[in-house]
Chain A
Amino acid sequence: MAERSDTEEVKLLGMWASPFSRRIEVALTLKGVPYEFSEQDITNKSSLLLQLNPVYKMIPVLVHNGKPISESLVILEYIDDTWRNNPILPQDPCERATARFLAKLIDQQICVAAMKVVGKVGEERDAAVEATRDLLMFLEKELVGKDFFGGRSLGFVDIVATLVAFWLMRTEDLLGVKVVPVELFPEIHRWVKNLLGNDVIKKCIPPKDEHLAYIRARMDKLNLKSA
């Protein structure tokens, strides 16, 4: 049971289809922290969002007892530091360093490479697919012999890597290119199955059909090729 006072107020400014917003919902749900969700229109940013995140003007923003925190990885660590039950990061400093390293790899490299796959065509797309796969190999190797990146249960990297499982891999259907084929990434596929069997994940990821419809609409709007 999460330790909390009755006066604690937790609010999350987020967006239903954003992987960065959803990962915060996973963390809060894992810890049993009740929160108020405020759906934001990212095409027409509210004055509240601009006031709470003046530096980046982006979701997610967690507001705890009136104090705002931005940047999803910073928020995840804040949640782990504040609510000590069901730890997200491992205890061992070396494992923590690896978890942080992989999270950064996912957000700063894999995510960027994957967006190039979406945004490019022809040879440039092939190169982007290749680059994404090279990076994903590091995740693949990390999963050997484990149910989750966190071991037997969900951890920091699992939460961050939902971006791979439910955004990158879901988009494959729309792109008509298998960026993450099971022949090359059997561990990642096994891990996705494990995620889908987890109640917190099932509760917190966007519903598939609506999600795909949203992505397709965005791709059409940006004149990107969709299958």
Chain B
Amino acid sequence: MPHRSNVNASTCQNITFFSHTFTLTHPSVLDLKEIMPSGEVKLIGAWASPFVMRPRVALNLKSVPYEFLQETFGSKSELLLKSNPVHKKIPVLLHADKPVCESNIIVEYIDETWSSSGPSILPSHPYDRAMARFWAAYIDEKWFVALRNFLKAEGEEEKKAVVAQMEEGNALLEKAFIDCSKGKPFFNGDNIGYLDISLGSFLAWLRVTELAASHKLLDEAKTPSLCKWAELFCNDPAVKPVMPETAKLAEFAKKIFAKPQA
């Protein structure tokens, strides 16, 4: 059951936090020019959100302990609103009370801040980094939108059109996987990385959608590499503890989609 952690008044200390969103280049009370990254790490999020899952996997990869502050579905905490005044959305990473927003941006932040800990999340070669960023943006702006449209689609015609869109996207990602992985098990090579996390975070929702629609969206015949990759990703030790269970997520999906739309 999602719960809210106790956040004390000093954590929400008035405006220093709000102003950090806009004046991060100004000298602040909190000295960030330390050699070893220190300071408490908190993540505002929710267990069911694929976007929240991304920084959780990244923090696991870097073995960074953090406090998970779960938002209650349907309401936004004062801490969230103060930490992300622009979008008011999860996830938000709080590192020594400084907020970092946007899931993929948070993942890069984690990679850069804890660079000497654990494997690299972004590839090292500039061209590979560009490919990882390109496909991560594609996944959020096109592929995920198609998945969301599939969930909302009504009637056979609409469903057919969205399925065609999804299949086109999957074919692109299958090719991207072959190009990026260069024969290794993950987009990032031997270890999971930025692009694996970006796509992999949607796998639980993909499974729930497949079950609800009785329609396989990721097909072994059409996208064999992606299917193999998906299984490996889900079994990765950094992923397993934070990947929502399909049954639990399906129940949750039923609940939230059952609510009347405003």
B-binding residues in A (CB < 8 A): 55, 64, 67, 69-71, 73-75, 77-78, 81-82, 90, 92-98, 100-101, 104-105, 138, 141-142, 144-146, 151
Label chain B's interface by main secondary structure: helix
Name the A residues within 8 Å of B21 (CB-CB). Answer: 98
Alpha-carbon distance A94/B130, docked complex (angstroms) = 21
How many contacting A-B pairs (Cβ < 8 A)?
Answer: 75
Could you tell me if B138 and A55 are in contact, using CB atoms closer than 8 angstroms?
A: yes
In the complex, A206 Cα to B150 Cα: how many Å? 42
- Nearest B residue to A144 via CB reads B23
Interface stretch of the complex, out of B94-102, B217-225, B236-244? B94-102
Q: Is the CB of B22 within 8 A of A69?
A: no
Asked if A141 and B106 sit within 8 Å, CB to CB, the answer is no
Q: Is the CB of A93 within 8 A of B130?
A: no
Q: Let me know if B202 is at the binding interface, CB within 8 A.
A: no
Given contacts A90-B25, A97-B108, A104-B105, contact A74 B95 (CB under 8 A): no
Is A101 in contact with B105, judged by CB distance below 8 angstroms?
A: yes
Does B127 sit at the interface, judged by CB under 8 A?
yes
Which one of A81, A96, A141 contacts B22 once the chains associate, using CB atoms below 8 Å? A141
Distance of A98 Cα from B21 Cα, bound (Å): 8
B213: A residues at CB distance < 8 A: none
| Pair A69/B127 contact, Cβ less than 8 Å | yes
26 inter-chain pairs at a CB distance below 8 angstroms, sorted by A residue, are A64-B127, A67-B127, A69-B134, A71-B134, A73-B137, A74-B133, A74-B137, A77-B130, A78-B130, A81-B126, A82-B126, A90-B25, A92-B33, A93-B109, A94-B24, A94-B109, A95-B25, A97-B105, A98-B21, A98-B24, A100-B105, A101-B86, A105-B86, A141-B22, A141-B23, A151-B25
